[in-house]
Amino acid sequence: MLTSPMWFLKELELYKHVKPYRLDFDPEDDNFPRTNVDRVEIPGVPIHDIRGNEDQLLFPKCGFSILHMPSSLTTLDYDDHDLVTDRYYSFIEKAVQDFSEKSHLGAKVVALDHKVRKRHSTFPISNGENYSDPQPVMVAHVDWTPQTIEKKLRLTVGDEKTKVILGGQYQFCHAWRPLFGPLRGYPLAVCDYSTVNPENDYEITDDVYENHGVDENYMVYHRPGHKWYYLSDQEPTEILLFREYDSTVGLMSGIPHCAIPNPVPSEHIMARQSIEVELVIYWP
């Protein structure tokens, strides 16, 4: 186990009356703030190691699990979008389908999108300019609400298939792993879902875009009873699969997650690069 500082949504009276929001553009009214989100850093949060505890951490209860992939796939050019969608997606779909069918036969899996993150040498200290690549996210959050999932599905697989998926049982998940390893800088921490009380611990938040409307996600309040985990020395062949939504559980069924600083700070630690695939598992 290690301890690490972590960022959470600050508990304010404001959020009992006003929804937290962030704008990705400058509003015309200079007096209108781009965000009303206030965060707080909690030092010394205990982070337990998944390694060695895999058999005790069951996906239906905790919301995450470790899958494995062949080392041959780790050498792909992950900057090549078409190559990733052609070769990596098919592997991810098959691996998650096999994993899901162990508890529920008939699973179908569709990889929808992916994102490659490359930590800049100055991160997390901003240089005042936009980074060329997405950076690790260091505030506890859940990325997706049912409204945003439906929007993503319609854009990706179309209206008819979306109706099929939403008409039955489904889960929305992320498959996350480093591109290089062992990962010792800014690993991903995930929270055991059985230790959270979503109605009290999550706050639905709006991300407002100038050109494509509003996406929702959840920010998370710190609670001493939350139990956090990470996978020590995660290798590129180890995929952290974690849940963002489960239709059988309902609203707020995703697990909180965020990047944490280097467990063992060192100038020799390789800058973190990672890939995350958004996918839907469904049982028609």
pLDDT tens per residue across span 255-278: 999 999 876 666 667 789 999 999
Distances (CA, A) of 6 to 37, 48, 126, 228: 16, 14, 18, 11
Distances (CA, A) of 53 to 65, 110, 121, 247: 10, 29, 33, 27
243 within 8 A of 254, measured Cβ to Cβ = yes
State the average pLDDT over residues 108-126.
92
**Which candidate, 187, 271, 275, 179, places its Cα nearest to that of 232?**
187
**pLDDT of the residue at 263:** 65
Tell me which long-range contacts 49-55 makes (C-beta under 8 A, separation of at least 24).
49/1, 49/2, 49/229, 49/230, 49/231, 49/232, 50/229, 50/230, 50/231, 50/232, 51/231, 51/232, 51/233, 53/229
263 within 8 A of 141, measured Cβ to Cβ = no
What region does 209 belong to: left with phi over 0, alpha with psi -120 to 50, or beta? beta
> And the tokens for 55?
């058999």
Query: What pTM, to 2 d.p., does this model score?
Result: 0.94
What region does 63 belong to: left with phi over 0, alpha with psi -120 to 50, or beta? left
**Which candidate, 49, 71, 40, places its Cα nearest to that of 2?**
49
**How far apart are the C-alpha atoms of 176 and 122, rounded to whole Å?**
23
Q: Per-residue pLDDT tens for 28-76?
A: 888 899 999 999 999 999 999 999 999 899 999 999 999 999 888 888 9
**How far apart are the C-alpha atoms of 79 and 114, rounded to whole Å?**
11
**How far apart are the C-alpha atoms of 236 and 181, rounded to whole Å?**
6
> Where along the chain do its domains lie?
2-26+42-54+63-283
Q: Per-residue pLDDT tens for 224-259?
A: 999 999 999 999 999 999 999 999 998 899 999 999
Q: Which residues contact 280 (CB under 8 A, 6 or more apart)?
A: 109, 110, 112, 149, 153, 165, 170, 171, 172, 173
